[in-house]
Structure 1
């Protein structure tokens, strides 16, 4: 007997088995949001919140249309198209409890390379009131030291040239597609859409606004002025640990629920979304399903980026070098929870803004518990990926603020040193490390000089700026990297804990 594929037609049967399925008429859902970057996190987070809202009978005019621009995005298009854009979300608690539900808030998927003009037309439709983004930290196309838009990217440059000629049929980037649609809406007198970033960048809305403004200014100064006046870019803070989907996750859906899902999502049971209330043409009532809709997101962003995200970097390189491949395995070694709590308390937390009503000690300990969630099976390699985009945004701001305020930086410096050691491309057992990073070749080459010049890795000013000129930082960094070379990860972390009185 063939195993059925997830589909609209299968939903009544799944509901009869006790599986949570959309409780609303999906045929009544109409497009209201276009989302760039439909991956595991978006489907575990923003799409899940919207599905919950639709189950309350609300926001049925805010159905999500996914839009892909990368060649690899065709895989998501095909997976979702083959099952009516439904997918299974399994939330896993630390105690082993699981809750599976079928999400129905994504109603279509447009693969822009197939027909860029059709993608622009979809974005131009007045029904689309929000364009949301999870395009990763590197997707915003800016220089990490100076923060300026990178006009040298070949696809960006080609899109700018096309738009200056009034051509929209061959656009390659989400910058080009979104800007073309905004230009068309301006010309037609149509209300623009809100651009809502949901990426792990401090001031993500401000960053998106600056980058889109820079792109638009290169196309048409008047258009850039109009965008500045008319298009909101709300900030947001998003949080949910979501590992990459594995074949084992797909097999679990079949064995547990009796149907096939080409791309299910597995995540932890914790979720958080803090969103600035800054929209031009309405929005879903996210606050009805637990989203914190506020006037100022920045304190929450800093809490998450400098505690959770920076701590992920604090465990991943050390953990991988020591031979661990799953995050919960790292956390089973008691030195690592101690190290992360020390970093968060002594260096991360002092760099935060006031957060009235938030128990930061409880938040820090909750993070330790979340990292140790064995059911999630998050991989250390996932956390090590794209470090050249992550470290400058999550950890280096902590370093710079603490240097300026004459506060401790030893643990942060050691985390950077662990990245430098990881970039050498071999762990402590001599096994090769596959470095996943847009700058992988360059980082690996630079790290080969760590032994002859302990500051070699720091001399890359595109990544680190002027930190190599800060003696207090370079001294702490040098001690940690030398210890990693001579004594290994365990001894290095133990020495750091002894140094800060947490051994």
Structure 2
């Protein structure tokens, strides 16, 4: 079977959307760090829609916003997409329909591991006007509890020794900005697209601290020339399977080695603060706002928090996917109780924000059987995700004297998971930057809920110093973890859903 590329594009089935422009004629205006599935299902999708003239649009697009990608982890995405001229299929799926679109907004991908100077050079290039990133929470080399740069992070220490040969994304950004200043390449926007609270402000804080350590003279130029808008991104994008590749190949009639599968729902709320222009994302459905914080809080707490709860509890209960978890009777009741009684009353909601509709849409999206979103995948890197997804809701519940039993059970399920042993005594592979510490606590606790809660709450880089001092949360988490050990996950979820 032929592969998807520029020469086979015109022969695809008429039902498949093509790029509304000639991908080979795009001028690069965006450099994106971390060209994973989420970026290709979200920002690249919106950028394509903004650049070209689609059948539904009457506005001709500005095709100077092609995306040059940088991978930090491996060459896998580059190696799969390069023979395809960086074209790939995006399949948006709901319960009854699948819409396939060929995305051509990505024009090149380089691997930073081949040459530590390549990413800074792209950032300094005069054609580059936006540098965006989906490097995951751990890519920011920060302390999740405080949001500050982790100055003892191994990668940061290497970059401080050799700032002109960076190995981290933060180091590459700083070196790229230094080169850009020296070359007088003009203003720039740095756009974080990761699930961090106030992601733009977080990026600015972390980067500025790193710059203070390596070249304080750069700070004044950054203040003048660089903006850091925050944004909220929402789309469920599971890992692509070999079955997905086979299905896409059968539909297209050509082989795509790197298709992306996503839900039909997609949302992007973006602060309109760009120093050197931007694509006309609003014509593609992006909501441009002056502040994104309230949208962000609702999304982190009402979507990401319950998603993580489903991942840890669902995995422990033996479910492979989120759709399987919410197909039970117990879990939707548990999630609704947690959202209605413990999360929503702690939110600050402005006029025009329909929290009730958003809550119900979350459950519908979790139930989408077309998405095989694995509980194991979502459970990865929990130490980096827990603070913003669940612990801020815990803090709000404590502050406002709200119930918190379901939140405590969700955190206890994470604790149970990172001990490294499931309910059958089998090993769990804990994929997390703090895995050695987490497993040490689990081994020392030896299944004793009181010791385990004391040990995990003592990890200030996750829980801060406040939650270990909260007797109310400590008691609730200990009771929840003890019940998980005593009754098992399904019986525990049923019990908590009915309390």
Q: TM-score by structure 2 length?
A: 0.95
Q: Aligned ranges for residues 53-68 of structure 1 at < 5 Å?
A: 53-56=50-53, 57-68=60-71
Q: Which residue of 2 aligns with 1:451?
A: 447
* SS of alignment partner, residue 92 of structure 2: strand
- Could you report, residue by residue, the CA deviation over 1:19-76 in whole angstroms, capped at 9, with x for unpaired residues? 2111212222100000001000000000001111223231310100001222x2x111
- CA shift for structure 1 position 450: 5.3
Unaligned ranges ≥5, structure 1: none
1:24 paired residue among 21, 42, 55: 21
- CA shift for structure 1 position 454: 4.6
- Could you report, residue by residue, the CA deviation over 1:65-112 in whole angstroms, capped at 9, with x for unpaired residues? 001222x2x1111111111010011111123x1111110000111212
d(CA) in 2 for partners of 1:254 and 1:248? 10
8 Å CA contact retained: 2:139, 2:169:
no
d(CA) in 2 for partners of 1:185 and 1:454? 49
- State how many pairs are aligned: 488
Q: Aligned ranges for residues 393-408 of structure 1 at < 5 Å?
A: 393-408=388-403
Q: Which residue of 2 aligns with 1:432?
A: 427
8 Å CA contact retained: 1:182, 1:192:
no
* SS of alignment partner, residue 275 of structure 1: strand
8 Å CA contact retained: 1:130, 1:196:
yes
8 Å CA contact retained: 1:450, 1:457:
no
* Inter-CA distance 450–469: structure 2 relative to 1 (3 Å threshold): farther
d(CA) in 1 for partners of 2:310 and 2:110? 37
d(CA) in 2 for partners of 1:151 and 1:66? 27
- CA shift for structure 1 position 254: 1.9
8 Å CA contact retained: 1:94, 1:375:
yes
Q: Which residue of 1 aligns with 2:56?
A: none
- CA shift for structure 1 position 379: 0.7
- CA shift for structure 1 position 293: 0.3
- CA shift for structure 1 position 228: 2.5
8 Å CA contact retained: 1:50, 1:59:
no
- Could you report, residue by residue, the CA deviation over 1:414-466 in whole angstroms, capped at 9, with x for unpaired residues? 11111111222233344432222112232122123153325233232222223
- Could you report, residue by residue, the CA deviation over 1:324-355 in whole angstroms, capped at 9, with x for unpaired residues? 11111101111101111111111221222223
8 Å CA contact retained: 1:159, 1:171:
yes
Q: Which moved more, 1:451-460 or 1:359-368?
A: 451-460
Q: Which residue of 2 aligns with 1:223?
A: 218
* Inter-CA distance 469–450: structure 2 relative to 1 (3 Å threshold): farther
Which 4+ runs in 1 deviate beyond 4 A? Answer: none
Q: Aligned ranges for residues 63-142 of structure 1 at < 5 Å?
A: 63-70=66-73, 72=74, 74-95=75-96, 97-142=97-142
Q: Which moved more, 1:44-53 or 1:441-450?
A: 441-450
* SS of alignment partner, residue 172 of structure 1: coil
d(CA) in 2 for partners of 1:189 and 1:457? 48
Q: Which residue of 2 aligns with 1:286?
A: 281
d(CA) in 1 for partners of 2:119 and 2:264? 34
2:486 maps to 1:490: no
- CA shift for structure 1 position 320: 1.0
2:255 paired residue among 256, 260, 266: 260
Q: Which residue of 1 aligns with 2:470?
A: 470
- CA shift for structure 1 position 160: 2.7
- CA shift for structure 1 position 241: 0.3
Q: Aligned ranges for residues 3-402 of structure 1 at < 5 Å?
A: 3-14=1-12, 17-56=14-53, 57-70=60-73, 72=74, 74-95=75-96, 97-163=97-163, 168=164, 170-402=165-397
Unaligned ranges ≥5, structure 2: 54-59
8 Å CA contact retained: 2:381, 2:432:
yes
- CA shift for structure 1 position 276: 0.2
* SS of alignment partner, residue 275 of structure 2: coil
* SS of alignment partner, residue 403 of structure 1: helix
- CA shift for structure 1 position 226: 2.0
* SS of alignment partner, residue 8 of structure 1: coil
- Could you report, residue by residue, the CA deviation over 1:265-312 in whole angstroms, capped at 9, with x for unpaired residues? 001100000000011010011111110000010000001000100001
- CA shift for structure 1 position 154: 3.0
- CA shift for structure 1 position 400: 1.2
* SS of alignment partner, residue 8 of structure 2: helix
d(CA) in 1 for partners of 2:471 and 2:119? 51
- C-alpha root-mean-square deviation of aligned residues, in Å? 1.5
